[in-house]
Structure 1
Amino acid sequence: MSQESQSTDKEIQPLREEINQIDAQIVELLDKRAKNARKIGEIKGKTDSPVYRPERENEVILMAVNHSDGTLKPEGISSIFKEIMSACRSLEKKTTVAFLGPRGTFSEMAMFKQFGRSIQGIACEQIEEVFRAVEAGTSQFGIVPMENSTEGSVNRTLDALLRTSLSIISEVSVPVHHNLLTKSGTLEGITRIYSHPQSLGQCVGWLNSNVPDLPRMSASSNGEAAKKASEDPTIAAIAGETAAEAFGLKPVFEHIQDDAGNRTRFVVLA
């Protein structure tokens, strides 16, 4: 080890030791918070009160952001507290959420953004199935796409809302970042690209400029396209980060959508 490296380690070591002490304090406080959440769950159980209160969780996040000195960005604080509340909520009662599947879709991404990851997700093949799962009590909540900034309203969701007795209790907006994904992380041996027709349309300019000779094939969802790519090394998929994580794919190119500000708004049903 060089003298310069030894000097750097001496400077870093006391900071690491302080971080270890802070982490221990954080865990101690998280355990204390979890115990209080469990007690709240016991009280709610006596009156069958709802475990998930989106307005209360929004208050907690706002309070946390306001307590920060600005070192952490608000979206970072929000993400951290979503997971803390999700883990604590699971001590009260396991939260079930129906979403438009399969795994790796933007609907799943929206579900995790809204509820955190300490939940049980129920993948549905159609938007109407999400409604039926909540109506039948198979799932406590459902999350469905309502509107895309590029494509407009999702008509199947609007039609289902006209027929249901469910209520919209919250909403969440997710940025739509499309990535070109393969098993290898390269285009070597790739013969075709799969994605949902809307996603293909949202990336048509980039595709025409960068891979004009690769045939484009329709899939029922971006998650399904990613699944195909994970099973066949000659297939590339256009999908989001959640799909890449779910199916073990690597990005060849990131953020290939033509509209950098593309977003989809989802609504939570109960």
Structure 2
Amino acid sequence: MSQDPKLKERLSKLRVKIDALDEKLLALLNERASVAIEVGEAKREGGASFYAPSREDDLVRKLQEKNGGPFPSSAIRPVWKEIMSASLSLESPLRVAYLGPQASFTHQACLKHFGLSALCLPVRTIGEVFDHVEKGKADFGVIPVENTTEGAVSNTLDKFFDAKTKIVGEVMLRISLNLMNKSGERGDIQKIYSHAHALPQCRNWLEAHMPDVPALEAPSTAQAARMAAEDETLAAVAGQLAGELYGLLNVEASIEDNPNNFTRFLVIGKEIPEPGPCNKTSLLFAVKDQAGALYHMLRPFYDNNVNLTKIESRPMRRKAWE
């Protein structure tokens, strides 16, 4: 269909305006990058930390408050996240260890928090994430800590007993699980693989629609996707990013039982970050085995009107039942 000449002319003029604005944006981004390099040099000379999450949060919050539209305020954070990530890579590229492999949900949380310019390092276990940070192989680490359906990730919590790292941030990620294989056909599936925490999150769907197909554990959702890509009889329960990476087709999308399925990830580092207006504090403590011990520990929070969002009890493992 031929385009109306007047419409064509109008669109052409508007596109010229957009092209000119894009060139101005590019020039401003490069000007900002030059200043970021100077900031990096100043931090290096003064021994200051390159990464300041509270500064980033304050910047985004102020921009959202000043935004008069029509650019959506909800888009400001992801746009500036990438701008700040790219700028930080010019100051000092961040190395971030995460529970891999590539395209796992922890990888997605890593990208969401640090941006595409960070050097994301996949490792095999949660313990290795802690190890990389403590030994200086990575500046930060990203680890899963709890899910709205399955609760706490015990392995992560237990690592903090002996860890020298600090919690410096958190990431909330919406978890959508797809059933995928090479053909996209349900009839080809003889076995289903996924991570031990992912399978229970879609238990009801699998029992209702695939009752005779065994659901087996894989080291991660991304590894399950890789296995399904190598064997036409296998299917994976994984995220969309993993499916795209390994060339899988959706048999059924969004099979999680809880539509509000979120996983919270922790960001760990060696230094406690500067305080900010939205900081959270996590404490690890033990109490004596006597009446009222927990009450006396928690009473000061009540007295000072400090809200507690979560309390988790874990075994000490050094002595039975403590």
Aligned residues: 269
Q: Counterpart of 2:13 in 1: which secondary structure?
A: helix
Correspondence for 1:235: 234
1:137-176 CA distance string (max 9 Å, x none): 0011011111111111111111111211111111111111
Give 1:189 shift.
Answer: 2.7
Q: Give the TM-score normalised by structure 1.
A: 0.93
Letter in 1 for 2:110: M
Give distance in 2, aligned partners of 1:65 and 1:3: 39
Residue deviations 1:9-33 (CA, integer Å, cap 9, x gap):
3342222222111111111111011
Q: Which residue of 2 aligns with 1:135?
A: 134
Change (3 A) 1:250 1:115: same
Partner of 1:26: 25
1:196 is displaced (CA, Å) by 1.1
Distance 1:186 1:37 in 2: 50
For 2:146 and 2:242, how far apart are their aligned partners in 1?
Answer: 21
Equivalent position of 1:189 in the other structure: 188
SS at 1:203's partner residue? helix
Q: Quick check: 1:130–1:144 contact (8 Å CA) kept in 2?
A: yes
Greater relative CO (CA pairs within 8 A, separation 6+): 1
Contact 1:204 1:258 in 2 (8 A): yes
Which amino acid letter does the alignment assign opposite residue 120 of structure 2?
A: G
After the TM superposition, which of the residue ranges 227-236 and 6-15 deviates more from structure 2?
6-15
Structure-2 change in CA distance of 1:254 and 1:11 (3 Å): farther
In 1, Cα distance between equivalents of 2:260 and 2:70: 26
Q: How does 1:63-212 map to 2 (within 5 A)?
A: 63-187=62-186, 189-212=188-211
How far apart are the structure 2 equivalents of 1:94 and 1:40? 14
Stretch of structure 1 that moved more, 250-259 or 111-120: 250-259
TM-score of the superposed pair, with normalisation by structure 2: 0.79
Which residue identity lines up with residue 156 of structure 1 in the other structure? Answer: N
Which amino acid is the alignment partner of residue 241 of structure 1?
Q
Per-residue deviation, 1:183: 2.8
Larger-Rg structure: 2
The structure-2 alpha-carbon separation of the partners of 1:8 and 1:248, relative to structure 1 and needing over 3 Å to count, comes to: farther
Structure 1: which 5+ runs fail to align? none
Q: Could you tell me which residue of structure 2 aligns to residue 253 of structure 1? A: 252
Q: Distance in 1 between matches of 2:189 and 2:7?
A: 46
Q: Is the 8 A contact 1:103 1:123 kept in 2?
A: yes
Equivalent pairs: percent with the same residue? 39
| Most deviating of 123-132 and 251-260 | 251-260
1:104 and 1:226 in contact (8 A); partners too: no
Structure 2: runs of 5 or more not aligned? 270-322
Matches within 5 A, 1:39-58: 39-58=38-57
CA RMSD of aligned residues (A): 1.7
